[in-house]
Amino acid sequence: MSITIETPRSPRSRKSAKLEKYGWLYMRASGALLLVLIFGHLIANLFVGEGIRAIDFGFVGGKWATPFWRIWDGIMLWLALIHGTNGMRTLVNDYAERPWVRKSLVVTLWAVCGVLILLGTLVITTFDPCPANSLPELLPSFCTNK
Amino acid sequence: MPSKPAGTLYRGKVGMWSWVLHRITGVAIFFFLLVHVLDTALVRVSPEAYNSVIATYKTPIIGLGELGLVASILFHALNGVRVILIDFWPKGAKFQNVMFWVVIAVAVILFAGFAPRHLMHVFGGAK
Ligand code: HEM
């Protein structure tokens, strides 16, 4: 006696099954890295010194004066947005029942993700800690006492 | 003869509630991240624009919201490690219940270290 299990007993295609597997692995690999990156980010910005009270343009200028935090923040930006977006895609797949709703939500998620990664990357790479015509007291101290 | 399911790894127990919490905190962090990339992008507009928006992060109500955000991140991150261990460590599934309570304990300890300091920064007082 044999039982035939109806579709979907197998993935729609080998390619999409592979992609799902990489997505699953990505959630775990990026999660482990994000733990370090985000805890470091929170300690540096919210815990040490005066915490949230110290954050202003000068604070960001000071952090982004050297490549260290720029690279840190850049990696965190990419990993977190892709992790969060792929996680939200899982929720959409779970809760959106109509195919066209599901499809549009997933496309919207990745579009938003792409725009924010592009914006954030441009901000980090083109940041100017001493913009011309700004009040000196708003800038990091190294802008004035060269 | 059992009259109802005895429960599984996931149904109605720690396995299920940890998943519910992981999902809710993941969504909350995601929406914060969208806003946070936009507010940080204001450093490219002008120091004034950035400072005025960041000033709202220092107000009491948003300051309390930040406590919720940090609590969410602590749970999601530590429970993420638990999920990874369940998947990759051969004994992970066996210890998933203990690991959940370890996650909660570590999260509570870290939160207790953070919250008073943050409240002092938001509500004045200590430097
Ligand atoms: C801090 C370090 C983090 C770790 C260790 C971590 C870990 C994980 C893991 C392992 C999963 C997969 C769960 C599963 O497949 O069952 C996951 C799911 C998810 N994560 Fe994270 N994550 C972290 C940060 C973040 C951040 C910053 C965001 C938001 C931008 C986020 C949003 C999500 C979402 C929405 C899901 C999907 C939840 C679900 O499917 O129920 N996570 N996380």
CB-CB contact of B70 with B122 (8 Å): no
What pLDDT, on a 0 to 100 scale, did the predictor assign at position B22?
A: 98
Query: Could you tell me if residue A29 is inside a domain?
Result: yes
pLDDT band at B88 (very low <50, low <70, confident <90, very high): very high
Average per-residue pLDDT in chain B? Answer: 92
Per DSSP, the residues of B15-65 read HHHHHHHHHHHHHHHHHHHHHHHHHHHGGGT-HHHHHHHHHHTTSHHHHHH
Range of the domain at A68: 16-129
What pLDDT, on a 0 to 100 scale, did the predictor assign at position A13?
A: 80
CA distance B97 to A46: 32
Q: Considering the entire predicted model, what is its pTM?
A: 0.91
What pLDDT, on a 0 to 100 scale, did the predictor assign at position B126?
A: 47
Q: Indicate whether residue A28 lines ligand 1 (CB < 6 A).
A: yes
Q: Which of B36, B43, B38 is nearest to A57 (CA)?
A: B43
A42-73 confidence digits (pLDDT tens): 999 999 999 999 999 999 999 999 999 999 99
Q: Is the pLDDT of residue A80 over 50?
A: yes
Query: Could you tell me if residue A136 is inside a domain?
Result: no
Query: CA A138, B63, B125, B115 torsion: positive or negative?
Result: negative
Distances, alpha carbon A42 to alpha carbons A30, A51, A84, B66, B99, in Å = 17, 9, 18, 11, 24
Mean pLDDT of B58-84: 97
Residue ID of nearest Cα to ligand 1 atom 8? B80
Q: Specify the number of domains making up chain A.
A: 1
Q: State how far residue B87 is from chain A, nearest Cα, in angstroms.
A: 9
Helix B47-56, helix B14-41: angle, nearest 10: 150
Query: Could you tell me if residue A123 is inside a domain?
Result: yes
Probe target for ligand 1 pocket from A20, A24, A27, with the most ligand atoms within 8 Å of CB: A27
HSE-CB for B105 with a 13 A CA cutoff: 6
Q: Indicate whether residue A12 lines ligand 1 (CB < 6 A).
A: no
Q: Is the pLDDT of residue A10 over 70?
A: no
Q: Which positions 64-123 of A are in contact with B (Cβ < 8 Å)?
A: 77, 80-81, 84-85, 87-88, 91, 112, 116, 119-120, 122-123
Query: Could you tell me if residue A142 is inside a domain?
Result: no
CB contacts, 8 Å: A88 with chain B: 26-27, 30
DSSP A54: G
Query: Could you tell me if residue A11 is inside a domain?
Result: no
Distance in Å, CA B64 to ligand 1 centroid: 23
Residue of B nearest to A92 (CA): B27
CB contacts, 8 Å: B30 with chain A: 84-85, 87-88
Mean pLDDT of A17-24: 93
Q: Indicate whether residue B84 lines ligand 1 (CB < 6 A).
A: yes
What pLDDT, on a 0 to 100 scale, did the predictor assign at position A82?
A: 98
A93-105 confidence digits (pLDDT tens): 999 999 999 999 9
Q: Is the pLDDT of residue B27 over 60?
A: yes
State the complex-level ipTM.
Answer: 0.90
Q: Is the pLDDT of residue A145 over 70?
A: no
What pLDDT, on a 0 to 100 scale, did the predictor assign at position A16?
A: 84
Query: Could you tell me if residue A4 is inside a domain?
Result: no
Q: Is the pLDDT of residue B7 over 70?
A: no
CA distance A16 to A19: 5
A104-142 confidence digits (pLDDT tens): 999 999 999 999 999 999 999 999 999 988 898 899 989
Q: Which of A121, A117, A35 is nearest to A71 (CA)?
A: A121
For the domain that residue A99 is a member of, what is the CATH number?
1.20.1300.10
What pLDDT, on a 0 to 100 scale, did the predictor assign at position A2?
A: 77
First CA to last CA distance, chain B: 65
What pLDDT, on a 0 to 100 scale, did the predictor assign at position A132?
A: 87
Question: Which among B41, B80, B117 is the nearest to A120, CB-wise?
Answer: B41
Query: Are A60 and B40 inside 8 Å of each other by CB?
Result: yes
Q: Which of A23, A73, A46 is nearest to B73 (CA)?
A: A46
CA distance A40 to A57: 20
- Cα-Cα-Cα-Cα dihedral of A51, A56, A59, A60, to 10°? 120
Q: State how far residue B17 is from chain A, nearest Cα, in angstroms.
A: 16
Q: Indicate whether residue A141 lines ligand 1 (CB < 6 A).
A: no
What pLDDT, on a 0 to 100 scale, did the predictor assign at position B24?
A: 98
Cβ-based neighbours of B5, under 8 Å, separated by 6 or more = B11
pLDDT band at B89 (very low <50, low <70, confident <90, very high): very high
**Ligand 1 atom nearest to B84, measured from its CA:** 10
Q: Is the pLDDT of residue A12 over 60?
A: yes
- Within 10 angstroms of residue B72's Cβ, the number of other Cβ atoms is 19
Query: Could you tell me if residue A120 is inside a domain?
Result: yes
- Amino acid in position B127: K
Using the structure block, give the residue that is written with the tokens 């990156």: A37
CA distance A53 to A31: 29
